[in-house]
Structure 1
Amino acid sequence: MNDQGTDVTKLGNNLTSANFEQNHEASKTKRCWGWRHLFWEARTRILVWYVLLMVCFTATSVGLIRQVLFKEVYKRIDGYLIQEMQEFQQLLQQGKNPFTGQPFDDDITTLFDVFLSRNIPNDGEFLLTIVDGQFYKSSPKALPAPLQPDSELLKGWSNLTKSTKGQEETSVGSILYYVKPVEIGGELRGLFIVANSIAGEEEEINEVIVVIIEVTLIVMVAAFVVAWIAAGRVLAPLRSITETARSISETDLTQRIPLQGYGEMAELTITLNQMLDRVQRAFTSQRDFINDASHELRTPITIIRGHLELWDDDPKAQQETLELVLDELDRMNRFVNDLLLLAKAEWRDFLHVETIDIDSFTEELFAKAKALAERDWQLDAIASGRIVADRQRLTQAIMNLAENATQHTKAGEQIALGSAINRHNAYFWVRDTGKGIELANQKRIFERFARLPNSRRCSEGAGLGLSIVQAIAQAHQGQVKLKSRLGAGTQFTIVIPLEPKQDILPDESNSDC
């Protein structure tokens, strides 16, 4: 007993452990899916692209700003060099020795001394003089290592014999220089050099760039937060669409997406709501259709089954039962054919169009209609022209209207057919002098299985005739118009366009087949 208790305890512990592992794995999967779902959200992807673009634009902008700043520095320093050289040239050509009051002539050392004493160099600027190939003086006296008298750079400049401008990369950074040989009496006596180290300028530019980057990062973080909130508000209708779509089922198609704001989201919301309206109408129509069809089929099936269950050995009773069963089967067959026709009306190959002469076609319709019942048949008008249509389907629609007219008139009452044409449409009508249709029922009679209250019901009728007429007219891109008044008769008019759209025109490429 103790062993059994131990086993049960172990089993319980194992089940608990298994449940814990399953819950842990499910929770882990849910967390992973949550993060994955968050990453693949439209808002996240938009912000990722936004950040990438911001980074690219910022990096490009910072690089361009740095280049522009350096370009301005080089331009300014170059101006300083040229200015110093122009001032030296003016002193050389027009200046006078302050000690003698005469031109400097060949006294180059005094020339250099006077110029260095009168000019104060700018920050990072150095004025250097060389006399007879040897370093003479500089201003300021403290020179960086690359400009020391024994430096390789200064030795290279000492060998120049013509004016030279350039830039040298040294251990202290870039140095811009301007070297001018000084000739007295046609003989090279010395060199005047203006050099400018831009290391300080470079350091200032780099500090500015660092500040720009820091400020930009702060702005980008703030912009990211604001963009995240703004994107959430902009994409809120999408979440509403998702929630509404999840709440829609076959039993509840009434949910609609609330309209918010204007623009593309509002247009999308309106479009989806319109689509949901169409889906709801389609589901409702399908449900009503199935209910009505099952009701219509249940009646003949019940009649057939009831008579077969009461099958008698009497040959006469058997013959009557057989005739009744065959009649009900014929009615079911016609009913199924009508349903199939309504289903095919939505197919692309429902129509087989051809060019029809309206005048001969109208006379043909009138001849067929007169054979339906004993009525006062009249031919109102015959149009002259042609139309592109399906002869058989159009004949079926008009014969349905004529047969419907015979069911609502008595012998001797008038039924008339006619046709007319104008610039855009062809018209085929059937009118009768029956009792007419109430205004409240004029739209409903085109619905499937619809019948007028207190109307005489023929055994073969299922309320699909006018639905078939409307389906055929709409397949021709036309419509059916009804005009009726109580006690004054009814007129149905099929309106067909003379120039239908391309999708119902005959395929000329297969015309020989």
Structure 2
Amino acid sequence: FYRMAEKLAETERERERLDRNREEWMSGISHDLRTPLSSIQGYGYMLENAPQDWSQEELREMGTVIREKGDYMLELIDDFSLVFRLKSEIRPQELSRLDLNELVRRCVLKYVNDVTLDANFSYIGGEEPLLIDGNAKWLKRLMDNLLTNAVKHNPEGVHVEVRVERRPGGAAIVVADQGVGMDEETRRNLFERYYRGTNTEESMDGSGLGMSIAKAIVEAHRGRVGLWSEVGRGTTITVLLPEVSVQDGADCTAHGKDD
């Protein structure tokens, strides 16, 4: 009887948690879509009431803004959906055996070969496979968010060092830069979803949810994320993931491939 009562109570707690997550998700969507939607409505009203007052160049500019705002809204919806899905741990069938050294090396190589980025990247990893059970697609998204954040918030030419290490607590990914660093408030709120907000008037580059998504991906893999940063001295983000033992990893067949 007590076991049944406890199971029912656990089911009720899980239902309440999902309800809270759903309400938070809907509130976030409404909050962050309001600004771009207002811009689209404003331009639509102007075109509806006096289309003859605008030159071809002005009409093109309005069309560009409307398209960019629409793209931004779609990106927000996709990112909010991802955060919501990652509220729970990844299901076992979504995981595969991965060599973290190889997966991270390939992620860094993509940025090294990107000629549009004015930044320097280096990778340090071990020769032996460092095995984890993970979702390759989401872990690549994690690396993209960490590396993009390091470039976007630092001066041109910043050096970003990425290391993969075996530690007593598991397999570690370290992303370190020697850029501008962060003050105490930024450090405290870096992984909060609504910190800094999403100002679509200043920038259309990204949804503003990158670090929140990065943390959600790590936690969905039963991992932890740590942060060190000082103004003028740079930033280091450390991700610690559960490692698979060599015996358990003997059947490793996936090396960073998407499922």
For the criterion TM > 0.5, the same-fold answer is yes
In structure 2, the residue corresponding to 1:310 is in which secondary structure? Answer: helix
Indicate conservation of the 8 Å contact 2:25/2:80, yes or no. Answer: no
Corresponding residue for residue 94 of structure 2:
352
Corresponding residue for residue 106 of structure 2:
364
Corresponding residue for residue 62 of structure 2:
321
In structure 1, the residue corresponding to 2:171 is in which secondary structure? Answer: strand
RMSD of aligned Cα (Å): 3.1
Corresponding residue for residue 305 of structure 1:
41
Asked if 1:376 corresponds to 2:117, the answer is: no
Corresponding residue for residue 236 of structure 2:
491
Asked if 1:333 corresponds to 2:77, the answer is: no
Instruction: Give the alignment's TM-score, normalised by structure 2.
Output: 0.74
Asked if 1:416 corresponds to 2:161, the answer is: yes
How far residue 414 of structure 1 moved from its aligned partner, in angstroms, is 1.5
Which of 325, 342, 346 in structure 1 is aligned with 2:83? 342
How far residue 424 of structure 1 moved from its aligned partner, in angstroms, is 4.6
Q: In structure 2, give the amino acid aligned to 1:390.
A: N
Instruction: Describe the shift of the 1:497–1:349 C-alpha distance in structure 2 as closer, same or farther (beyond 3 A).
Output: closer
Instruction: Describe the shift of the 1:445–1:353 C-alpha distance in structure 2 as closer, same or farther (beyond 3 A).
Output: same
How far residue 290 of structure 1 moved from its aligned partner, in angstroms, is 4.2
Where structure 1 has 5 or more consecutive residues not aligned to the other structure, the ranges are 1-267, 501-513
Indicate conservation of the 8 Å contact 1:401/1:469, yes or no. Answer: yes
Q: In structure 2, give the amino acid aligned to 1:377.
A: F
In structure 1, the residue corresponding to 2:156 is in which secondary structure? Answer: coil
Q: In structure 1, give the amino acid aligned to 2:122.
A: Q
How far residue 360 of structure 1 moved from its aligned partner, in angstroms, is 2.4
Aligned ranges 1:80-91 → 2 under 5 Å? none
How far residue 491 of structure 1 moved from its aligned partner, in angstroms, is 1.1
How far residue 348 of structure 1 moved from its aligned partner, in angstroms, is 4.8
Where structure 2 has 5 or more consecutive residues not aligned to the other structure, the ranges are 1-5, 246-259
- Decide which structure has the larger Cα Rg and report it: 1
1:171-229 residue CA offsets vs partner (Å, 9 max, x unmatched): xxxxxxxxxxxxxxxxxxxxxxxxxxxxxxxxxxxxxxxxxxxxxxxxxxxxxxxxxxx
How far residue 408 of structure 1 moved from its aligned partner, in angstroms, is 0.7
Q: Which has the higher contact order (CA 8 A, sep 6+)?
A: 2
How far residue 365 of structure 1 moved from its aligned partner, in angstroms, is 1.1
In structure 2, the residue corresponding to 1:483 is in which secondary structure? Answer: strand
Corresponding residue for residue 256 of structure 2:
none
How far residue 347 of structure 1 moved from its aligned partner, in angstroms, is 6.4
In structure 2, the residue corresponding to 1:430 is in which secondary structure? Answer: strand
Corresponding residue for residue 388 of structure 1:
133
CA distance in 2, matches of 1:494, 1:343: 21
CA distance in 1, matches of 2:177, 2:191: 18
How far residue 366 of structure 1 moved from its aligned partner, in angstroms, is 0.9
Q: Which has the higher helix share?
A: 1
Corresponding residue for residue 251 of structure 2:
none
Indicate conservation of the 8 Å contact 1:344/1:350, yes or no. Answer: no
Indicate conservation of the 8 Å contact 1:398/1:430, yes or no. Answer: no
How far residue 288 of structure 1 moved from its aligned partner, in angstroms, is 5.7
Q: In structure 2, give the amino acid aligned to 1:427.
A: A
Indicate conservation of the 8 Å contact 1:308/1:321, yes or no. Answer: no
How far residue 495 of structure 1 moved from its aligned partner, in angstroms, is 0.9
Corresponding residue for residue 51 of structure 1:
none
Corresponding residue for residue 173 of structure 2:
428
Indicate conservation of the 8 Å contact 1:477/1:497, yes or no. Answer: yes
Instruction: Describe the shift of the 1:404–1:342 C-alpha distance in structure 2 as closer, same or farther (beyond 3 A).
Output: same
1:125-149 residue CA offsets vs partner (Å, 9 max, x unmatched): xxxxxxxxxxxxxxxxxxxxxxxxx
Aligned ranges 1:236-247 → 2 under 5 Å? none
CA distance in 2, matches of 1:321, 1:419: 47
Q: In structure 1, give the amino acid aligned to 2:120.
A: D
The percent of aligned pairs where both chains have the same amino acid is 23
